[in-house]
Chains A and B, each alone.
Chain A
């Protein structure tokens, strides 16, 4: 069977999931089947098929599982959002259309050779940094500068910037990885990279630190810096570089912890979520993380069922704040239980596996590093938000890719998927040719 036929078959579970999910929400709500919402479902499936046709024409040899896995997540996210609020689901469906258009445009533009991106690496890097600084023009939300509003559209530039930075790093490290290794000096038992190439790396570290200081977004910085370290490690195979990087990051985070009260509050809320004072605190308290945990505790092994989680009662303040964005994983655990939550994690893990597989198949360094970097930032994004929601690490606001409500997240992650598929198509074709 060809790769694309496998993809087509793999889309069947996604469509079944969507149908079953909507049915479950209807049963729970005790409503008559609404034509309108079924139409949304049908349109969504048609869109998936359209994207499949685009891939069939443009990237015939690309990995057959990546797109269906993403479609499963997206369908699932749509059902969850529909269950929370029909308006969210409608907006999200519209963003999916935008996301798929951007996805198609990216593929069509780069299908001849995605390595053309290397030529623009400094422009892309600069663009990424500018994007990150944009929210600083606005006002902070919960102490962090995360989103930028232009008229009615508000978007989170960190989502796009993460891709820009990965492209830059992949290209830069392809250039310098040899000299980084060859020129390395051992000092006090630790291997240090050569000084003249240290500059740009320190610049990346500086950027991550600056992110922390300027936009005060711990989640995004962890994502960027983690992606950076992963790429340095893959490019040089030197664990010592990673250790140095982690040390520098820890240093920066420690300084920030001492300087910025919002970060300290986050950590306090993480360590003592059930402290009554922190729980009652209006801003920067532990109410959100405590409610997240209570919600998960309601789920148990099998969950309470679609639509059964307590999220909001009438016009009262929400019991579970940001249920459609940051805390959507808590709602999933509540309604589908440990079983459903772990299933979602497994889907992400499969995507990560396909991403790394693509990186390993790729023949040129840039493509390898690009696929690795994109996969790592995706994995880290899942880790940062799910880890935050489950109290493994302090809670910071990033989206759960393809599931959380949010236009910039959908668009950015579709670009990420397009790049992975571009790398995959070339790599698999070359692998088959040899």
Chain B
């Protein structure tokens, strides 16, 4: 009977080899896929067992912290100040509704996802793993000024420091209370609300930029070498652009005027002619350099940022030089152009920074639990958009806008401001407009670049509605 016993042992060997094989598959071979399975809450729970770092405003005031529950799971608590920064800060309710905003983009630092080695060392030394704290660039006082100035209307204010890309103000109204989202039902309800309080207008909303786009056109005109601020172009109205007549505002007639005058008075026909002369290739080149066509390089989740550009009916980005785009109207912010307030703030910040576009940064420093700075978030150059000389010429033209043109309402006492207004006509029968102001100050040594816009305001002009908001926020930041 020994031969069958031996065969039986071989069978057991095969069965056990299959067990070892399945164990290898589960624990090593296919483990990554299982760890990423949507039903698998273990990675999130493990993070929830680690004390998550706090988030602070620029002045050190607390925005978010974590408290430990009886079951050892930490949960997020937001300070009253956090309500001002609801969108940019986001939320961390990873086990229920997920994460958003800075809480998501800086999760690795906040969760303390250190290296494997350091966690082993921590284990041996008996040190509990904790997340790092983040100090942001956000200015809570100026943010409140922006919110007050928006006054409950749907809109957004973005203010950047031109030389570094630091995000000082990033307001989107209406906002929400991040603490309220601890209840997933509140999240569902807010998600369905008509005025979309969870929607981050500063980074996600694609608005018609109106005449603020002329700044981009002017940059292309000057830097390409084909125009100077003194080049003269006819400002007659209407003219035919891409087979359709184009008017100036109030159908105002201008003769041969310089580009400086054309920007100061926001003459549509001049900038349409300029763009047509430059051609869609040249315009596409400069738009791309300014960052159009891709997500802004900010420390913020990609899915919460919209690339600015020309969108087709299927909501797909179109190539500006594809031949299907009316470049004369793109030049003055019409056509199917959609931009985010962050994109426009980045445009003016680039001009203020002598033509060098900087990557926007929300976080300033990563600080460990003992208060030591682990990492300083250094400014990063994104791309040189234009020469310093072109930027200086454009700055000169934009300061005329605020001194004597459409943007006088943004002027500050004793500080020279450069800027550009915009008024996108969204619904002409109902007279619904999207007013804009973009600009920076002080002109000679810019400390702040700003974009302000509001949604669907009856009869509003950028110079009348948006420019005063920009003025108040810039005042707060420069004071």
A residues touching B (Cβ–Cβ < 8 Å)?
30, 230, 233-235, 237, 274, 276, 279, 290, 293-301, 305, 310, 313-316, 319, 333, 337-338, 341-342, 345, 348-349, 352-353, 356, 359-360, 365, 368-369, 372, 376, 379, 382-383, 386-387, 390-392
**Does A349 contact B4, Cβ atoms closer than 8 Å?**
no
In the bound assembly, the distance between CA atoms of A298 and B49 in angstroms comes to 15
For B32, the chain A residues whose CB sits under 8 A away are 297
The chain A residue with its CB closest to the CB of B25 is A390
**Does B35 contact A298, Cβ atoms closer than 8 Å?**
yes
For B37, the chain A residues whose CB sits under 8 A away are 274, 294
Interface locus among B67-75, B76-84, B300-308:
B67-75
For B73, the chain A residues whose CB sits under 8 A away are 313-314
* Interchain CB contact (< 8 A) of B22 among A349, A353, A392: A392
**Does A379 contact B27, Cβ atoms closer than 8 Å?**
no
**Does A333 contact B27, Cβ atoms closer than 8 Å?**
yes
Residues A237 and B45 in contact in the complex (CB < 8 Å), given A314-B71, A392-B19 = no
**Does B23 contact A356, Cβ atoms closer than 8 Å?**
no
Residues A297 and B26 in contact in the complex (CB < 8 Å), given A349-B12, A368-B5, A379-B12 = yes
The chain A residue with its CB closest to the CB of B123 is A305
**Does A293 contact B45, Cβ atoms closer than 8 Å?**
no
**Does B3 contact A237, Cβ atoms closer than 8 Å?**
yes
Scan B256-296; emit 1 where CB is below 8 A from any A CB, else 0.
00000000000000000000000000000000000000000
CB distance from A141 to the nearest CB of B (A): 24
* Interchain CB contact (< 8 A) of B5 among A299, A372, A383: A372
**Does B31 contact A297, Cβ atoms closer than 8 Å?**
yes
**Does A297 contact B45, Cβ atoms closer than 8 Å?**
no
Number of interface residues of B (CB under 8 A): 42
For B4, the chain A residues whose CB sits under 8 A away are 233-234, 237
In the bound assembly, the distance between CA atoms of A392 and B3 in angstroms comes to 28
Q: Is B39 an interface residue (CB 8 A)?
A: yes
B residues touching A (Cβ–Cβ < 8 Å)?
1-6, 8-9, 12-13, 15-16, 18-20, 22-28, 30-32, 34-35, 37, 39-42, 45-46, 49, 69-73, 123, 126
**Does B42 contact A310, Cβ atoms closer than 8 Å?**
yes
For B71, the chain A residues whose CB sits under 8 A away are 313-316
**Does A298 contact B1, Cβ atoms closer than 8 Å?**
no
In the bound assembly, the distance between CA atoms of A406 and B168 in angstroms comes to 63
**Does A313 contact B45, Cβ atoms closer than 8 Å?**
yes
Residues A310 and B20 in contact in the complex (CB < 8 Å), given A294-B34, A360-B5, A368-B5 = no
In the bound assembly, the distance between CA atoms of A18 and B12 in angstroms comes to 28
CB distance from A219 to the nearest CB of B (A): 15
Residues A342 and B20 in contact in the complex (CB < 8 Å), given A230-B8, A368-B1 = yes
In the bound assembly, the distance between CA atoms of A30 and B19 in angstroms comes to 34
In the bound assembly, the distance between CA atoms of A359 and B4 in angstroms comes to 11
CB distance from A280 to the nearest CB of B (A): 9
